């Protein structure tokens, strides 16, 4: 079954020196043997066991298992060999402390991705055979030395290997327990398995069917021992295909590992969640302020109305600038250079026809907007108010905009609260003199104030601008009286439904017309808010780098702490990919926990802040969208997994022989 031909193994020492651990080993083994390999420390017996067990494939010569040379195996074949052909029993047991007895035994089958029911049934069968039926749910620290060794033997047998390698299996046991373990090992050999024991004890060797003595890396004696007999045995029905550890199984193992250091992992997750919370809150703050601004802008206008203005011609703008007309301040939306009445670009009938053909537009209303400084004014008795903006009434001005008085009829106007302050509180119902600059000429007309305009019921306070709203027909009549034909500078498109307003607004833009200055300012302000939110979120995200470093350090410490555990996993057939997958799964779980905590903290902050801002300012300052929470979890997981790549790679590259030596 197992044959070693001219096996030699050397170790490189400092100063390019070489130490020969094994020299021309020639020996063969067959099934049903219980072989003891004895020798002094440093004689090479442990090295020989490492080669037979597939833990070390760096040797010269041929090590044949059923005719195949282990020295020519790929890393994948070596993993499969350790998983299916060999079972290890260690002197120090090497049980994984945070796993139960049952889980310690089934771990090798877990690495083979065998179903839970099959794993448990097989483990219960073997644990019953080794006398641990009533101890399956205990942890290793709740067992005696002999019981721990029985668990180790059960783990070695779980995949029904052909070879059992026992390294000083009784070295840590008392004499009575030693006899029990030796009897157990002897029974394993009787059932047709090859059992190879490494021991210092002649007493232990006397229980063997064969004793091989080794000294200075050479076999010096090979003698027959006692007749151990044989016993009938049925091979276990175990799937020994090429199944490997699944991602789900890796996550379950990682979760068990994390439970062992629960406090540390939770604290790391809390630290990492601070960055996620900060990012979510920065985006939510921007969203809340944007919502507030949008609500206030909507409260000032009728949601069914879309204001349309003619596009600004560059040549006209240049001409106006040459005349000294003030242009829009930096960062403000572009202004029609002909803010002065009479020089604007009016809408023609073809424009109105084109706009009226837009889907869902049910009416087109004509309008006029005049902006001027020092030329338009309202006089009442000895009081004067300079009017910054003269606008015509449309469905954009609703009853909610009337703070006092009534909606204007023919010959009446609506003035803002700023004008009321200039002219007096008793201005409603009074006739005033309105002065307008029309066609480069100044004209006056008597009109009656019907009411006071406010920006909306959802807005605390009213506009500080001096604004006058008049009926379009009244302004046309004033123009006709002074031989000046008034044409609309603004059109108001009335939508058949609020849901269609945005599509109408987009169609207007596609035709090349401008929206209202108010909309442009709102869009610009909202864009600035977006930019500010993203900048603040990016600044908050810097803390995620610290989180990544914390996770990297924790996983690195975990690799160092669990080096021996990693060696055990490799000894029972874990691939480097499996080890890497387990540690990456741990980083995934930390990232997931961090993301969930980040969302929780952000939601708690929202629950605390929003009632305060609602009470003080009547709006929610923190508005968390589902996409923010999803992004928080995704970012947290990605950063955590990225941080876990280096420690996971370190763990995967650990040498199993060196790992098993680590205390």
For the stretch 100-119, pLDDT in tens is 999 999 988 888 888 888 88
Query: pLDDT tens across 377-421, in order?
Result: 999 988 999 988 888 888 778 777 888 899 999 999 999 988 999
For residue 461, pLDDT over 60 is answered with no
Scanning the structure block, which residue is given the tokens 């020969």?
20
| Local structure of 446: helix, strand or coil | strand
pLDDT at position 300 is 63
pLDDT at position 195 is 93
For residue 323, pLDDT over 50 is answered with no
**275 sits in which H/E element:** helix 262-300
Q: What is the CATH number of domain 2-244?
A: 3.40.50.300
For residue 38, pLDDT over 60 is answered with yes
Scanning the structure block, which residue is given the tokens 């008597």?
446
pLDDT at position 327 is 44
Nearest CA among 416, 431, 410 for reference residue 385: 416
Q: What is the chain's Cα-based Rg? A: 44
Query: What whole-number distance in Å separates Cα of residue 543 and Cα of residue 560?
Result: 26
**632 sits in which H/E element:** helix 626-653
pLDDT at position 238 is 62
Query: pLDDT tens across 2-22, in order?
Result: 999 999 999 888 778 888 999
| Local structure of 132: helix, strand or coil | coil
Query: 209-231: b or e for each residue (b if 16 or more CB lie within 10 Å)?
Result: bbbbbbeebbbeeeeebeebeee
For residue 535, pLDDT over 90 is answered with no
Q: C-alpha distances in angstroms, 545 versus 92, 636, 640, 645?
A: 41, 11, 10, 15
Nearest CA among 384, 366, 388, 347 for reference residue 474: 366
**390 sits in which H/E element:** strand 389-392
Alpha helices in 95-230 (DSSP H): 101-111, 116-129, 145-157, 175-190, 202-205
- Structural tokens at position 209: 């069917």
Residue 591 pLDDT level (bands cut at 50, 70, 90): very high
Query: What whole-number distance in Å separates Cα of residue 344 and Cα of residue 335?
Result: 11
pLDDT at position 517 is 66
Nearest CA among 463, 436, 473, 468 for reference residue 451: 468
- Structural tokens at position 541: 């995200």
Nearest CA among 599, 600, 622, 603 for reference residue 612: 622
User: Considering the entire predicted model, what is its pTM?
Assistant: 0.71
Q: C-alpha distances in angstroms, 46 versus 3, 39, 43, 565, 660?
A: 17, 10, 8, 19, 12
How many Cβ atoms are within 10 Å of 8's Cβ, its own excluded?
A: 14
Q: Cα 159 vs. chain centroid, distance in angstroms?
A: 38
pLDDT at position 375 is 81
pLDDT at position 412 is 93
Nearest CA among 88, 94, 46, 86 for reference residue 70: 86
Q: For 402, phi and psi rounded to 5 degrees?
A: -95, 105
Average pLDDT score over the chain = 84
Nearest CA among 456, 513, 494 for reference residue 303: 494
Residue 322 pLDDT level (bands cut at 50, 70, 90): very low
Query: What whole-number distance in Å separates Cα of residue 314 and Cα of residue 91?
Result: 90
pLDDT at position 437 is 80
Parse the chain into domains and list their residue ranges. 2-244, 260-292+527-661, 303-515
Positive or negative, the CA dihedral 25, 26, 28, 34 is negative
* DSSP 8-state symbol, 514: B
pLDDT at position 464 is 72
């Amino acid at each position: 079954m197992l044959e070693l031909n001219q096996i030699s193994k050397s170790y490189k020492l400092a100063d390019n020196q070489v130490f020969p651990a094994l020299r021309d080993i020639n020996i063969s083994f067959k099934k049903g043997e219980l072989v003891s390999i004895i020798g002094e420390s440093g004689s090479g017996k442990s090295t020989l066991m490492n080669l037979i067990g597939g833990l070390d494939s760096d040797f010269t010569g041929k090590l044949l298992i059923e005719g195949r040379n282990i020295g020519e195996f790929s890393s994948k074949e070596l993993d499969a060999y350790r998983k299916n052909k060999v079972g290890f029993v260690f002197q120090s047991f090497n049980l994984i402390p945070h796993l139960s007895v049952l889980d310690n035994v089934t771990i090798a089958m877990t690495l083979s991705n065998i179903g839970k029911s099959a794993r448990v049934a097989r483990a219960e069968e073997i644990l019953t055979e080794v006398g641990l039926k009533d101890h399956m749910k205990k942890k290793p620290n709740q067992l005696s030395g002999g019981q721990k060794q029985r668990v180790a033997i059960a783990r070695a047998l779980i995949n029904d290997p052909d070879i059992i390698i026992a390294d000083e299996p009784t070295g840590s046991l008392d004499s009575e327990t030693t006899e029990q373990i030796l009897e157990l090992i002897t029974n394993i050999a009787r059932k047709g398995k090859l059992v190879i024991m490494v021991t210092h004890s002649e007493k232990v060797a006397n229980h063997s069917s064969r004793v091989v003595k080794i000294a200075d890396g050479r076999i010096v004696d090979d003698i027959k021992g006692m007749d151990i007999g044989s016993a009938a045995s049925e091979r276990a029905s175990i799937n020994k295909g090429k199944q490997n550890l699944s991602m789900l199984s890796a996550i379950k193992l990682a979760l068990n590992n994390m439970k062992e250091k629960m406090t540390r992992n939770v604290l790391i997750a809390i630290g990492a969640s601070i960055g996620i919370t900060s990012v979510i809150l920065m985006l939510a703050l921007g969203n809340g302020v944007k919502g507030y601004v949008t609500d206030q802008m909507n409260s000032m206008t009728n949601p069914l109305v879309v204001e349309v203005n003619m596009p600004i011609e560059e040549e006209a703008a240049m001409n106006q600038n040459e005349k000294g007309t003030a242009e829009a301040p930096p960062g403000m939306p572009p202004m029609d250079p002909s803010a002065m009445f009479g020089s604007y670009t009016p809408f023609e009938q073809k424009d109105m026809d084109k706009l009226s053909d837009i889907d869902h537009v049910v009416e087109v209303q004509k309008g006029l907007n005049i902006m001027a400084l020092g030329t338009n004014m309202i006089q009442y008795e000895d009081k004067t108010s300079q009017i910054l903006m003269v606008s015509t009434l449309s469905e954009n001005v609703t009853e909610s905009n009337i703070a006092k008085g009534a909606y204007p009829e023919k010959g009446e106007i609506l003035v803002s609260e700023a004008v009321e302050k200039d002219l007096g509180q008793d201005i409603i119902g009074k006739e005033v003199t309105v002065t307008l600059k029309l066609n480069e000429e100044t004209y006056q007309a008597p009109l009656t104030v019907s009411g006071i305009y406010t920006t909306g019921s959802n807005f605390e306070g009213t506009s500080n601008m001096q604004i006058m709203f008049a009926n379009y027909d009244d302004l046309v009549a004033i123009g006709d009286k002074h031989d000046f034909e008034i044409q609309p500078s603004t059109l108001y498109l009335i939508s058949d439904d609020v849901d269609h307003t945005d599509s109408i607004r987009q169609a207007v833009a596609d035709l090349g017309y401008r929206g209202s200055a108010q909309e442009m300012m709102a869009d610009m302000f909202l864009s600035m808010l977006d930019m500010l939110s993203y900048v603040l979120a990016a600044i908050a995200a810097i803390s995620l780098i610290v989180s990544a470093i914390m996770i990297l350090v924790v996983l690195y410490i975990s690799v160092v702490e669990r080096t021996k555990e990693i060696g055990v996993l490799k000894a029972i057939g874990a691939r480097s990919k499996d080890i890497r997958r387990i540690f990456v799964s741990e980083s995934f779980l930390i990232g997931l926990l961090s993301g969930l905590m980040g969302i929780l903290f952000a939601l708690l902050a929202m629950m605390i802040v929003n009632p305060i801002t609602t009470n003080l300012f009547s709006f929610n300052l923190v508005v968390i969208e589902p996409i923010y929470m999803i992004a928080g979890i995704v970012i947290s997981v990605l950063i955590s997994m990225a941080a876990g790549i280096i420690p996971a790679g370190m763990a995967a590259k650990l040498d199993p022989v060196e790992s098993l030596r680590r205390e």
